[in-house]
Amino acid sequence: MNKISILFLFIISSFCFGQKFNSGIVLGINTSQVSFDNLSGFNKIGIRSGAFVNQNFNKFQGQIGLLYINKGSREHVNADTYSEGYKLQLNYIEIPISFKKRIYRNIDGELGLGISYLLNWTEKYDGYDNYGIEMEKLEYSVHIGFEYEIRQNLYLNSRLSNSIIPVRSHASDNIHKWYHGQYNTSISFVLYYYILKK
């Protein structure tokens, strides 16, 4: 975790030193799933919140954030059953680095990478602890998204993110041709509010 903090401070100082930078807060929801857990659908809903700074360059905008984000997986259970089903809860601190470019009027497209540190996690079935293979502490991911300007200083962001390195091994230790373990996939919908904008 200390390495993540040092990395964040180094990048943000490089961003801000001698530059006219913008900053603000982030708040919204994150829907997620985990590949190869025998479930499907973005049934796990959590939060995505934190802060960001960005800098305008000639043809694009660079942005870095510090976010608290929930990921994981959840079994969809019918309302007429007493089963709570399977639930995997992963709580991360994430540093996403994005590059944004205006693509149409008040809509921006974004591409980026992220590094996340796993704060804690739980794995349950029917409300009881049911821990499997240990999760990796660090997650490396890539993301793509769009951002819509609602009004001055307020933006709606939608982002698709996926791990590029497994967050843990398969339960059976099998290795597929393209997939070597379990990966996080998430779709988020958040509001960006600028506190400082130049």
pLDDT (tens digit per residue) in 77-124 = 776 665 678 899 999 999 999 999 999 989 999 999 999 999 999 998
Q: Which of 184, 187, 86 is nearest to 138 (CA)?
A: 184
Q: What is the pLDDT of residue 20?
A: 77
Residue 18: pLDDT above 80? no
CATH number of 2-196: 2.40.160.20
Q: Which residues pair with 74 in a beta bridge?
A: 87
pLDDT (tens digit per residue) in 43-57 = 899 999 999 999 888
What letter would DSSP give residue 8?
H
Domain boundaries, the chain: 2-196
Least confident of 48-57, 129-138, 182-191: 129-138
What letter would DSSP give residue 117?
E
Q: What is the pLDDT of residue 16?
A: 55
